[in-house]
Each structure stands twice: as structure tokens, then as C-alpha cells.
Amino acid sequence: MQMENLIEIQNVSFSYADRSIISDLSLVIPRGKAVAIMGGSGCGKTTLLNLIGGRISPSKGDVVVDGLSVPTLNTKELFDLRKRMGMLFQTGALLTDLSVFENVAFPIREHTRLPENILRKVVLMKLETVGLRGARELMPSELSGGMARRVALARAIALEPMMIMYDEPFTGLDPISKGVIAKLIRELNEILGITSIIVSHDVVDACAISDYAYLMGDGRIIGQGTPDDVQRSGSEHVRQFMDGLPDGPVPYQYPAGEYLDDLARGS
């Protein structure tokens, strides 16, 4: 029987060089849902994706994906699990020496032995999904930011994964490209049933395509609920983030000594 939750993060902590990035964090991602994880820059969102993908291991707690404890998997088991995960990087992370077609074909060539004529059909179908079948001959350097991310999305769904992790999918895009990416994320979730984890600091766009939202701050969850609940929350932490207030629980000033003392000290 399939578990209801595809991902369970259980009391996870992660530190890097004595600096705590994530502390005692727990959350669940239900199967087939689109879940937004929002928070300011440097709050540990991308680290969370790296923990789910097994690129780093937690110093405490457990990360369970599809019933498998990720930190305990050996390399082969981890790679088998990753074949069922897709990830869209903020930069697209396309291989710059390969054309659009070859980028989408890359994971298929690496993991299957499909004959060339079938592989061609599969790649063209994926590119058609993101509206870029006509751009198959282009090189990554010839693509706009939005197009590069759509190609990366086509590549992420090439092996028909059970889930896709989106790392800041809207950053640096014009409104039209944002709309296209949002539509694609929603369609992949609703039509293909792919569980979606959308990590973003873009409140409006992320909430618009999510079934559930978590708000992160200081490496822990500071708010959660449906996107409407989160947006209406009265919590000081949540309000600062949602309303874009420069000062609040997240201070405007980087921690420093007394201002006047600092000025009086000379050099």
C-alpha cells in the first residue's frame, strides 16, 4: 500500500561549519499535492531540498522519501531513488555543451537503452509539453532565462518522476515567463499527479499554485496551512514575511556592537 505522505522530514537539524542552518524541523509532503515552502533568502530552503535529494545528510533526525530513509541509503539505492525524483534548479543547470534536444535526452540516454527513434519521440513529447519542440536545435546559450527553465523542466520530467523539487522557479523571470512556469507546474501536478515541492520567496506566485504552504524562518517552520490561512495569519513572523516589512522578528540590522561605540573607536 502506498503511504499517504511521499516525504516526511522528522526533527531534522543540519549545521554547516558550526553554523546551524536547520534546527529540529519537521514537515510532511502529501503524495500528489503541490506544497510551497516559502521563506527569506538564507533561511535553509535550498538546504532542505538538498536533504530530501540526499546530497547532504542531516546531523540529527530523519528524511523519509517514499518510505525510504534517505540518509541510510547506499549510493546505488540513492541513485535509484533519484531516478524517481526530478529537480529544477534556479539556474536551470542545463549542460552547456549539449543542445536542447540532447539535454532532455540526457537522463534517458544515461538510464535506459531506448532505440534512437523511440527516444526521439519521447524527447519531442517532453519538449511539446513545455512548448519548446521548435527550439530543439538551439544551444543553452541561445535561450532566454524562462526558456532555459522550461527546457530544464522538460528534462526533469524525462524519466516520469513521482515528484519534482522546484528551487526558486520564478526568480529572475518576466511576468509572462512566470505565468508559463506556474501553469506548467500546476499542470504537471494536476494532470500527471506529480508531487510538487515549490521552494520560493515569491509569496503570490507560490501560493497561487500550491495546495499547502510552509513558511520557514531561521531554519524552522514559523507558519503553515493552506495558502489562504498562511496569508491571513496574525503571527508576527508570518506578517513580516508576507507584508515585506524591513524590520521585525528578522532584524534589519546584521548583529553588531553598539553603534556609537563603534563610531567612537576610530580605526
Which residues here bind other proteins, judged by CB under 8 A? 53, 55, 79-80, 82-83, 85, 87, 89-91, 93-96, 106-107, 110-111, 152, 155, 159
How far from the centroid of its chain's Cα atoms is residue 16's Cα? 20
C-beta of 34 vs 158, nearer to other proteins:
158
Over the chain, what HEC string results? CCCCEEEEEEEEEEEECCEEEEEEEEEEEECCCEEEEEECCCCCHHHHHHHHCCCCCCCEEEEEECCEEHHHCCHHHHHHHHCCEEEECCCCCCCCCCCHHHHHHHHHHHHCCCCHHHHHHHHHHHHHHCCCHHHCCCCHHHCCHHHHHHHHHHHHCCCCCCEEEEECCCCCCCHHHHHHHHHHHHHHHHHHCCEEEEEECCHHHHHHCCCEEEEEECCEEEEEECHHHHHHCCCHHHHHHHHCCCCCCCCCCCCCCCHHHHHHCCC
Minimum Å gap between C-beta 226 and other proteins is: 29
Dmax over Cα atoms in the chain, in whole Å?
Answer: 75
Minimum Å gap between C-beta 78 and other proteins is: 8
C-beta of 102 vs 218, nearer to other proteins:
102
Minimum Å gap between C-beta 136 and other proteins is: 19
Minimum Å gap between C-beta 101 and other proteins is: 16
C-beta of 80 vs 190, nearer to other proteins:
80
Give the list of residues 6+ apart from residue 154 with CB closer than 8 angstroms, or none: 104, 126, 127, 129, 130, 132
C-beta of 167 vs 205, nearer to other proteins:
167
Minimum Å gap between C-beta 89 and other proteins is: 5
C-beta of 130 vs 152, nearer to other proteins:
152
Of 162, 111, 156, which Cα lies nearest the Cα of 7?
A: 162
Q: How far apart are alpha carbons 32 and 81 in whole angstroms?
A: 17
C-beta of 150 vs 155, nearer to other proteins:
155
C-beta of 53 vs 225, nearer to other proteins:
53
C-beta of 107 vs 146, nearer to other proteins:
107
Minimum Å gap between C-beta 83 and other proteins is: 5
Minimum Å gap between C-beta 35 and other proteins is: 19
Minimum Å gap between C-beta 232 and other proteins is: 35
